[in-house]
Amino acid sequence: MSVQKRVAAVHDLSCVGKCSLTAALPVLSAAGIEACPVPTAVLSTHTGDIAGFTYHDMTEQILPIINHWLSLGLTFDAIYTGYLGSFRQLDIVSEVIDKLRTPENLVIVDPVMADNGKLYTGFTKDFPAGMRALCKKADIIVPNITEACFLLDIPYHHGPYDDAFIGTLLHGLAELGPKQIVLTGVYPDDGRYGAACYDTLTDRIDYALTGRIDGIYHGTGDLFASALTAALLNGRTLPDAAFIAAEFIFESIERTKAAGTDVRFGVNFEAGLSKFASLFSESV
């Protein structure tokens, strides 16, 4: 049996809503990976379409957590970052990457800040420039279409998206510094939806597309990036990992739509974890 992989997961903790750490921890664990959380904030729920949520900032605890880990001699196979709520947290997480980075590990940045053409509540128009600097330190970034447009400072438009537009985004994002890009929210027509991958070493673009289900489903970006990270650390290629993640999300949305539950509280990914885990049973 191989040595268990370990990931430092730097995200907020939304206690209800199936996003951020409540998505990353079970998905990574199901794939046989030790997931070590670094909570950037603790919220009662996520902030999308839910009023009155509580929020506790954990900024002051981030570096003490990392420094304690370093004092124990801990190393990590990946550093995986998500929602960061301030410029100060961007600077601190940049320092976290510097502290934990080794020649062997992966730095995966999900530049969570926008969707559907708009920045999330609380982010100012200059925030994408700060996120751009963090993306320069990443090996892999996982933006959605809106985030890609903000990172590149180009106009957003609703899909469907043709190959030329997707290619422009992927090549532009590569110029920021990451070796690989996985762009989510890609759909060439009304029947297909998923992601596009670009590897700078091979100069190759691959698509990972499933069916498309109308509607807004909170937390699916976090679930996708977590499933992608899990698959990569289990030795899958970037296109294979992206397809595994896309299929996992599609089936979770399909399950949720069939049940008719309140989509504000996330998708039912839990019922698909056993199938997801089985993909890596030989790796674990």
pLDDT band of residue 76 (cuts 50, 70, 90) is very high
pLDDT band of residue 282 (cuts 50, 70, 90) is low
Looking at residue 281, its pLDDT comes to 86
CA–CA gap between residue 25 and residue 39 (Å, rounded): 12
Instruction: Give me 1's structure tokens.
Output: 């049996």
- Output the CA–CA distances (angstroms, integers) from residue 86 to 58, 92, 93, in the order listed: 11, 10, 11
Looking at residue 1, its pLDDT comes to 66
- Residue with the bigger pLDDT between 52 and 234: it is 234
Give the mean model confidence (pLDDT) for residues 73-95.
97
Q: What is the pLDDT of residues 198-232, one digit of tens each?
A: 999 999 999 999 999 998 899 999 999 999 999 99
pLDDT band of residue 103 (cuts 50, 70, 90) is very high
pLDDT at 234 over 70: yes
CATH numeric code, 6-276: 3.40.1190.20
pLDDT band of residue 124 (cuts 50, 70, 90) is very high
CA–CA gap between residue 203 and residue 167 (Å, rounded): 11
pLDDT at 283 over 60: no
Looking at residue 284, its pLDDT comes to 45
pLDDT at 272 over 60: yes
Q: What is the pLDDT of residues 126-142, one digit of tens each?
A: 999 999 999 999 999 99
Closest CA to 45 of 16, 13, 21: 16
Closest CA to 21 of 32, 13, 31: 13
